[in-house]
C-alpha cells in the first residue's frame, strides 16, 4: 500500500488511519523554536463525516486510502437502499440513507452523480452542484402580496422541502444548489434525453 510522508501532506489528500478513510481538509505547518517541525491536520472521516484533529512530526507517514470516485447513474430506490450504476462497467452499488446524507433530497432517476468507494464498497455520493426539480406542492401565495424577499416552504418532487420565493407555485421547475439547499431560480422543464 502506498504511503504519504509529511512532505506530501496537503488539503484534499485521502489517507487511511486504522483502516478508516479520511480526507485531509486542512493542514498547517508549524516550526517550533526547538525540535522537529509539526504538521497540524484537520481530517474528515469519509464514512462517518466527523472531523478529527491530529498532529504529526516531520518524517512520519500515513497510508494512502484506497478511495475511488466515478460517475454513476441513479437508478431507483428499493426499501432503504439507493441504487446507482457505474457508467463505465455497469456495476451496481447500493447506498444506505446514512451514506447518502442530504444528497437524497436532490437525486432523481436517471441523474448522474459522483459515487465514492473505499475498498470497492460505496461510502458517499455527490449530486451535481445544481439540479432542476419540479415543485410537488406549494402553498398558494396570498393575493396582493407583492413584497420582495418573502419566502415560503415548497416540497420538491424528491420529497425534499426548501425555501422559495412566494410567487412559486405547484408544478413550477426550480434550479436548486445541492451544496446549500438554496433556491437559485425558476426555470423551464429540463430537456428529455432520447
Quick: pLDDT tens for 72-102. 999 999 988 999 999 999 999 999 988 888 8
What pLDDT does 2 receive? 85
Whether residue 76 is contained in a domain is answered as: yes
Same structural domain, 174 and 147: yes
Domain final position from 126, 146, 174: 126
Domain final position from 64, 81, 106: 64
Same structural domain, 98 and 83: yes
Same structural domain, 111 and 138: no
Please state the domain count of the chain.
3
Whether residue 41 is contained in a domain is answered as: yes
Domain final position from 126, 146, 171: 126
The model's pTM is 0.77
> Band of the pLDDT at 194, cuts 50, 70, 90?
very low
C-alpha closest to that of 46 among 139, 121, 118: 118
C-alpha closest to that of 142 among 166, 174, 171: 166
Quick: pLDDT tens for 54-70. 999 888 999 999 889 99
Residue 25 belongs to a domain with what CATH number? Answer: 2.30.30.30
Residue 149 belongs to a domain with what CATH number? Answer: 2.40.50.140
Whether residue 118 is contained in a domain is answered as: yes
Cα gap 164→151, rounded to integer Å: 5
Same structural domain, 121 and 140: no
Domain that holds residue 36: 3-64
* Burial class of 65 by CB neighbour count within 10 A (0 to 12, 13 to 18, 19+): buried
Amino acid at each position: 500500500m502506498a504511503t504519504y510522508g509529511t512532505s506530501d501532506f496537503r488539503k484534499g489528500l485521502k489517507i487511511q488511519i486504522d483502516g478508516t478513510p479520511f480526507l485531509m481538509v486542512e493542514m498547517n505547518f508549524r516550526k517550533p523554536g526547538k525540535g522537529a517541525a509539526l504538521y497540524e491536520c484537520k481530517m474528515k472521516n469519509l464514512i462517518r463525516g466527523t472531523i478529527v484533529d491530529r498532529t504529526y512530526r516531520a518524517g512520519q507517514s500515513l497510508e494512502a486510502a484506497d478511495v475511488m470516485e466515478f460517475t454513476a447513474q441513479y437508478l431507483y430506490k428499493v426499501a432503504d437502499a439507493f441504487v446507482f450504476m457505474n457508467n463505465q462497467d455497469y456495476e451496481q452499488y447500493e447506498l444506505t440513507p446514512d451514506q447518502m446524507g442530504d444528497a437524497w433530497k436532490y437525486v432523481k432517476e436517471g441523474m448522474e452523480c459522483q459515487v465514492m468507494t473505499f475498498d470497492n464498497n460505496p461510502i458517499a455520493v455527490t449530486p451535481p452542484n445544481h439540479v432542476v426539480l419540479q415543485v410537488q406542492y406549494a402553498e398558494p401565495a396570498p393575493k396582493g402580496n407583492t413584497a420582495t424577499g418573502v419566502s415560503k416552504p415548497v416540497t420538491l418532487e424528491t420529497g425534499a422541502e426548501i425555501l422559495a420565493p412566494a410567487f412559486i407555485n405547484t408544478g413550477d421547475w426550480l434550479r436548486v444548489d445541492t451544496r446549500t439547499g438554496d433556491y437559485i431560480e425558476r426555470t423551464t422543464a429540463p430537456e428529455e434525453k432520447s
